[in-house]
Structure 1
Amino acid sequence: MVSFKARRSEPQLVSPERPTPCETKPLSDIDDQHLLRYYETVVGFFRNCPGRTDDRPADLKGTFKAALAEALVYYYPVAGRLREEAGGKLVVDCTAEGVVFVDADADVRLQDFGEPLLPPYPCLDQLLCDPGDVKAVTGRPLLFMQVTELKCGGFVVGFHMCHNIADGFGMIQLMTSVTELMVKASPSLLPVWKRELLTTAQNTTPIPYPNPAYKPLLNSLDSTSDDVMLSIPPNRMVAQYFVFGQREVAALRSHIPGHLADSTTSFELLTAVMWRCRTIALGYEPSQRVRLMVTMNARGRWNRHTLIPWGYYGNAHVSPIVELTVDELCRKTLADTVELVRETKLSVTKECLASMVDTTAYIRQRPSLTMDRTYEVSDTRWIAAVKGLQLGWAEYVGGGIPLAGDLTSKLGSHHMRCQNEDGEDSTVVSLLLPRPAMERFKKEMAVWLNKNDKNLQIYPVPSSSYML
């Protein structure tokens, strides 16, 4: 595996290119969750398009910095600072103080990161600038970005962004605007704030009729954790990535009836199998209750009952939860588990979204929340399909959220799009587990894939790649 050390500039503060409103903006109740008080990490790899190098700017990093300054005119709250008001609620002071930008060079080529390009990416710490304490979000820049130019002409964009300001869709929307502004005068999609759309009209009293999808969250208040996933520190865990190509997905589909196999999405199928294998691997007692939390983007045509406008870059995700005992989960057929995953996804309605807003507002007043025996899954494969990240002279070829779990919960898996060693469009799924549990997980997964675990395509994370 390649090893290198990037040559970095000193961190610079980049402010909006032109004057912007000086005001204070409230966050939504979805934004203002204690669980989101951290910096999410995203990395993207770009390569030059053959025959288009004449269009490439002579000063790539300078052009990127200038485009970032222009983007901050539209996304001016990102250039401000978070402040906690009395009562603990966060607001954004739009001060135009700026975001952190670092330019860097690395004597490696894009192909040196691996073919196919898959996480874990080598020397990830060299592609990201240092954000300091990733759990301290008030009074600090809300974005830390590094652009690293490679000797082949390709480049890597790595950033840490405060999750209270934007969800994954919003972060990519901002980055799309930056790349667009490198080649044209204005972004194709203008940002929308409107955080009041996801702010509760309730007071802080207990919710009288919570949506069933969120009762497990309310039941977690003031409870005591006995989950090994929460008691073991991340540096004693193993992070790995599992690649599912056409053969692997076909093998998993063979375990469910034909009529259901044809309609099941790969996300539903992989989530069902991994939840079962993970639960068994962690050795929970049969009577203990386990949960699946499916984090979904509330935007889009599939979700017409919501009022989230295009351009909204705040947190607009819903996370319905299903709960049952370990014994109930393990006795179900795979087909039944797939149906359970699907029902959880389809439970997202206008009423469910409103209930989530009320629930998160109430929980914010009671931050002693535990997430015992919870498996959180999100589908981020759409990042690879974002056409706005194509620059004409360069194109996005891979990346996403490069860490297994996140920097606060350790409980999540991200589904990311990739190509496998045969060049097929595939899904890579991250997972973080204690070492003994990871070995049990691989054995369980190998049974479902109908093959020896030695042939299972797994990408371990070097210890230097997992940053806390």
Structure 2
Amino acid sequence: MEAYADVELRELQLYNPDASVEGKLVPKKKDGVLYIQVTELRCGSVIVACTFDHRIANAYSGNMFLVAWAEMGHSENISLHPSFQRSLLNPRRPGSCDASLDDMYVPLSTLPPPSSNGMPRADPVISRIYYVTAENITRLQDLASSKGCRRTKLESLGAYLWQIVAKSEMDSTKRCKMGVVVDGRTRLCDGKNSVANYFGNVLSIPFGEETVEELVKKPLSWVADTVHEYVHVAAEKEHFLGLIDWVEAHWPEPALAKIYCKGIEDGSAFVRQRFPVEKLNFGWGRPVFGSYHFPLGGESGYVMPMPSVTQEGNWVVYVHLLKGQIEVLEEVAGDVFKPLTPEYLGLHGDATKFSKQTSFPSDAFFWGSS
């Protein structure tokens, strides 16, 4: 689809994608696999937005497609050819499923029917986009590390967000969950067959559960250690081999990660996925900004940090949480999670005069949606 919007790129409220993007710049998914909308703005900038079916591919696969698309636009060779060799994920004979997988996934048929009274939620789920500076990421990593164990940036930021979500709860005895999406491609490589270029879904979502009181009162290093423990278990090859066997054992019954099941709606999933904005040059210059827009249905949260293309070392963080959780986030961590603004992207000047210079990064804006 081609579209035109009588607005300049610098006027878009990217901090609030619910208002500026949803239903306007991103095409709605119907019955197909992929939908693309290209929107030209008054200043000459271009927005490319894609919506794809998550049953076909995860974000990693989507990135492969986007990069290949840009390379083909330059008549370049595709740097990473996708593999559709489904046998790479064949189950073992006989299969072997660890009991812990039953705590992570559940067949849909075992879930209670959704209850709805037709009334909108008092505390809806909303989306916001922030940026976090490299200095703040390093500071959180220092606070999250102890006893000589250096926690990763992902573990550190995830632990920090888990504490913030817990602070939004009034009941200190309530249990709060946090999951981390782990890609299994690198874990399944065996030296003979590589799944690095496998096109499809190779994900697992381990999660932890602690009381609100513990998460709020314990130091960040304790929370980060907890995140590390449950992520480490699911980061092994055996975990993904077992998950393949678990899916086969329940075939053809579809299943759902328990972090998203009704009854544990206080859970949130956290993932770091590299969005290759710097490689998405379709011929008019490197994009000034790229992000996923992933407004899940239901009441579960979702947080996705990505490297910033504007400031090296910074992260752009897409946040999809309950409105009350967002309010607490901005109140207690406003110095860390700063709203994404046109000024941060370098769009505070006259955008029109830059729109014809293909070397200037604001010539293009890319938005990924699934």
Asked if structure 1 preserves the Cα contact closer than 8 Å seen for 2:277 and 2:287, the reply is: no
Q: What secondary structure sits across from 1:126 in the alignment?
A: coil
2:317 paired with 1:429: yes
The superposition leaves residues 391-450 of structure 1 with CA deviations (integer Å, 9 ceiling, x where unpaired) of 4542233222124x4245632111123367xx564223333344344333444436xx6x
**1:232·1:434 contact (CA, 8 Å) conserved in 2?**
no
- Letter of the 1:170 partner, please give it: S
Q: Superposition pairs for residues 353-432 of structure 1, below 5 Å?
A: 353-361=240-248, 362=250, 365=253, 370=261, 372=264, 373-380=266-273, 382-384=274-276, 387=279, 389-391=280-282, 393-403=284-294, 405-407=295-297, 410-418=300-308, 423=311, 425-432=313-320
Match of 1:297 in 2: 183
Looking at structure 2, the residues matched to 325 and 392 of structure 1 have their Cα atoms a distance apart, in angstroms, of 51
Tell me by how many angstroms 1:245 deviates: 1.1
Match of 1:279 among 159, 166, 172: 166
**1:240 maps to amino acid:** R
1:212: how far off? 2.9
Distance 1:156 1:225, change over 3 A: same
Residues 384 and 172 of structure 1: CA distance in aligned 2, closer, same or farther (over 3 Å): closer
Residue 148 of structure 1 and its aligned partner are, at CA, apart by: 1.9
Contact 2:108 2:253 in 1 (8 A): no
Name the residue aligned to 1:147: 38
Give a deviation string over 1:277-305, Cα, whole Å, max 9, x none. 1023134552x4433221122234x7645
* CA 393–224 in structure 1, closer or farther in 2 if over 3 Å, else same: closer
The percent of aligned pairs where both chains have the same amino acid is 19
Deviation at residue 459 of structure 1 after TM alignment: 5.8
- Measure how far apart 1:162 and its partner are: 0.7
Deviation at 1:337, TM superposition (A): 1.5
Name the SS of the counterpart of 1:345 in structure 2.
helix
C-alpha distance 320-308 of structure 1, shift in aligned 2 (>3 A) = farther
Structure 2 counterparts to residues 95-106 of structure 1, below 5 A: 102-106=1-5
**1:332-347 matched pairs, under 5 angstroms:** 332-347=218-233
- Following TM superposition, by how much is the alpha carbon of 1:365 offset from its aligned partner in structure 2, in angstroms? 2.3
Structure-1 separation of matches of 2:303 and 2:111: 24
Q: 1:195 aligns with which of 58, 70, 86?
A: 86
Distance in 2, Cα, partners of 1:234 & 1:160: 29
Shift of 1:352: 0.3
Deviation at 1:333, TM superposition (A): 2.4
Question: Any conservation in 2 of the 1:211–1:355 contact (CA below 8 Å)?
Answer: no
Q: Which has the greater radius of gyration?
A: 1
Q: CA deviation at 1:164?
A: 0.9
Q: How does 1:45-124 map to 2 (within 5 A)?
A: 102-113=1-12, 120=17, 123-124=20-21
Check conservation: 2:38, 2:47, Cα contact below 8 A.
yes
Shift of 1:166: 0.9
TM-score of the pair, normalised by structure 2: 0.73
User: Which amino acid in structure 2 is aligned with residue 384 of structure 1?
Assistant: P
Aligned partner of 1:215: which letter? D
- What is the CA distance between 1:272 and its match in structure 2? 0.3
Matched, 1:252 2:140: yes
Is residue 127 of structure 1 aligned with residue 25 of structure 2? yes
Q: Tell me the CA shift for residue 376 of structure 1.
A: 0.7
Which position in structure 2 is the counterpart of 1:184?
75
Q: Name the structure 2 match of 1:47.
A: none
Aligned partner of 2:350 in structure 1 is: none
Task: Give the Cα–Cα distance (whole angstroms) in 1 for the partners of residues 269 and 152 of structure 2.
Answer: 18
Paired residues, what number? 331
Distance 1:157 1:456, change over 3 A: closer
- Whichever residue aligns with residue 179 of structure 1, its letter is A
Is contact 2:8–2:43 with CA below 8 Å preserved after alignment?
A: yes
- Deviations along 1:89-130, one digit per CA (max 9) or x if unpaired, are xxxxxxxxxxxxx1223344444447xx76638632332234
- Maintained 8 Å contact 2:277/2:309: no
What is the aligned partner in structure 1 of residue 207 from structure 2?
A: 321
SS at match of 2:293: coil
Give the aligned partner of residue 171 of structure 1. 62
RMSD (Å) for aligned C-alpha atoms? 4.0
The residue aligned with 2:154 is 267
How far did 1:185 drift?
Answer: 6.1
Match of 1:52 in 2: none
Q: Deviation string for 1:369-389 (max 9, x for gaps)? A: 625132211112x113553x2
Measured at CA, do residues 458 and 186 of structure 1 come closer, stay the same or move farther in structure 2, by a change above 3 Å?
A: closer
Distance 1:326 1:235, change over 3 A: closer
